[in-house]
């Protein structure tokens, strides 16, 4: 036994110089250097493609229209030209001569947050049932949910418009919340089901043996362990509800006080009387909350979306 251990140690020690030699090999070092350069060049190109348009939009939004007309090709305005009057014009109420985007922001926040709450209330028990409770066709349910996304939204837009008009929900934020929740529940169930399957079944069985009901196990044990996935799913639903335009246009086109911020921006872009600087300010107002929310929760969103991927 001792001789075998000695031989194994000798073989292991003999491989150390070989590993160092491989690390010092000029071909390998050159290959690693080339790959590192390609990686950083690719990242830089993606950053330029994403950040330059947003930076240009931001710079235009703080310039007066007179400066833009005098020198339209100038990307960097002088400091004495910078102004926030465009944002005041965008956020001010319509009664005061503004565009009313502050009201649109409040409407969008109400719709997005309500959609998240309603979607999670439906998706959490649905995902848990698919992941834990055996029933006929449980494995085919997820495929059926995802199959709903094979059809474009315009296919169901007209039937929903007719149905909600007849029941009196068209032209209200409640109808929009119901549509957004129904639109996002299938993918929310699919995302959370994968995470619920990674929760050890032995933990839930211990809770059942301690006298908890299935609902109690879900509320006290599973939800706490699956909180990253729940938060990531909630952020996903929030972003969809915040940026959605088609259903908001169909449901609220004749109710301007209830417009969401995406409708307000579409109205600005379609008006020839609105200066370009005001349009850029409205674009920043629409985009900035999502950017801030994403960077504040980026780690949670990434972890929740990737967790359980090996079981998907």
**How many domains does the structure of the chain reveal?**
2
CA distance 65 to 97: 17
What per-residue confidence (pLDDT) applies to 58? 86
How many CB atoms lie under 10 A from the CB of residue 224?
10
* Assigned token pair, 84: 């926030």
Residues in the chain: 312
pLDDT of amino acid 3: 46
52 shares a domain with 95: no
The domain boundary residue, chosen from 61, 83, 106 = 61
Secondary structure (3-state) at 306: helix
In a shared domain, residues 130 and 54: no
- In this structure, the answer to whether residues 44 and 104 fall within a common structural domain is no
Q: CB-based contacts of 308: which residues, under 8 Å, 6+ apart?
A: 194, 195, 196, 197, 198, 229
- Kindly state whether residues 20 and 100 are assigned to the same domain: no
Alpha-carbon distance of 299 to 277, in angstroms, equals: 34
Check whether residue 45 and residue 193 sit in a common domain: no
For residue 77, tell me if it sits in a domain: no
- Dist. CA 132–CA 125, nearest whole Å: 10
107 and 211 together in one domain:
yes
Residues 201 and 251 in one domain: yes
Q: What is the residue-averaged pLDDT of the chain? A: 80
Instruction: Specify if 51 maps to a domain.
Output: yes
Domain CATH code at residue 138: 1.10.3720.10
Regarding whether 119 and 41 lie in a shared domain, the answer is: no
**Residue 293 maps to a domain:** yes
- Is residue 98, in this structure, part of any structural domain at all? yes
Compute φ and ψ for 171, nearest 5 degrees.
Answer: 85, 15
Res 7: pLDDT:
43
Are residues 100 and 210 part of one domain? yes
In the prediction, which pLDDT does 5 show?
45
Phi and psi of 277, rounded to 5°? -65, -35
- Please state whether the predicted TM-score (pTM) of the whole model is above 0.95: no
- Asked whether residue 86 is assigned to any structural domain, the reply reads no
Tell me, yes or no, whether 83 lies in a domain: no
What pLDDT shows up at residue 308? Answer: 45
Among 45, 61, 77, the domain boundary falls at: 61
Neighbours of 73 (CB within 10 A): 5
Inside any domain, residue 31 = yes
Within 13 Å, how many C-alpha atoms sit on residue 199's CB side?
Answer: 25
In this structure, the answer to whether residues 105 and 252 fall within a common structural domain is yes
Domain that holds residue 44: 2-61
CA–CA dist 66, 72 (Å, integer)? 10
Same domain for 155 and 262: yes
pLDDT at 137: 67
Single out the residue in 61, 82, 111 at which a domain terminates: 61
- Segments of the chain scoring below 70 in pLDDT: 1-26, 72-75, 137-139, 142, 272, 300-312
Residue 124: name the closest of 199, 240, 229 by CA.
Answer: 229
Residue 79 is assigned to a structural domain of this protein: no
pLDDT, tens digit, for every residue of 277-311?
888 888 888 888 888 888 887 776 665 555 544 44
Which has the closest alpha carbon to 268: 255, 253, 278, 256?
A: 278
> How far is it, in rounded angstroms, from Cα 140 to Cα 54?
42
3-state secondary structure 90-121: HHCCHHHCCCCHHHHHHHHHHHHHHHHHHHHH
- Tokens standing for residue 11: 């073989």
pLDDT value, residue 109: 93
DSSP 245: -
Query: What's the pLDDT score for residue 86?
Result: 85
- Cβ proximity of 246 and 160 under 8 Å: no
The confidence score (pLDDT) of residue 311 equals: 44
Considering the domain architecture, whether residues 18 and 140 belong to the same structural domain is answered as no
pLDDT for 169 equals 86
Query: Taking Cα atoms as reference points, which of 276, 76, 312, 37 lies closest to residue 191?
Result: 312
């Amino acid at each position: 036994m001792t001789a075998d251990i000695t031989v194994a140690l000798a073989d292991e020690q003999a491989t150390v110089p070989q590993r160092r030699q491989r690390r010092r090999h000029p071909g390998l070092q050159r290959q690693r250097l080339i790959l590192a350069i390609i990686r950083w060049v690719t990242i830089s190109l993606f950053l330029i493609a994403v950040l330059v348009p947003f930076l240009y939009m931001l710079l235009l939004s703080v310039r007066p229209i007179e400066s833009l007309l005098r020198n339209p090709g100038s990307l960097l305005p002088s400091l004495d030209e910078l102004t926030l009057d465009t944002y005041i014009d965008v956020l001010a109420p319509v009664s005061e001569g503004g565009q009313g985007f502050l009201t649109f922001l409040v409407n969008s926040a109400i719709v997005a947050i309500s959609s998240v709450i309603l979607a999670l209330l439906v998706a959490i028990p649905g995902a848990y049932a698919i992941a834990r409770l055996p029933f006929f066709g449980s494995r085919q349910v997820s495929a059926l949910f995802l199959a709903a996304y094979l059809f474009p939204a315009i296919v169901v837009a007209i039937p929903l418009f007719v149905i909600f008009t007849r029941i009196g929900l068209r032209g209200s934020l409640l109808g929009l919340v119901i549509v957004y929740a129904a639109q996002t529940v299938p993918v929310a169930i699919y995302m959370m089901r994968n995470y619920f399957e990674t929760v050890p079944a032995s933990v839930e069985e211990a809770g059942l043996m301690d006298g908890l009901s299935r609902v109690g196990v879900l509320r006290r044990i599973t939800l706490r362990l699956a909180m990253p996935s729940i938060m990531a799913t909630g952020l996903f639903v929030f972003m969809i509800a915040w940026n959605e335009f088609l259903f908001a246009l169909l449901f609220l086109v004749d109710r301007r006080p209830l417009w969401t911020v995406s409708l307000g921006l579409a109205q600005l872009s379609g008006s020839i009387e609105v200066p370009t600087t005001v349009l850029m300010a409205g674009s920043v107002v629409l985009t900035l909350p999502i950017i801030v929310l994403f960077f504040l929760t980026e780690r949670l969103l990434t972890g929740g979306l990737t967790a359980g991927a090996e079981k998907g």
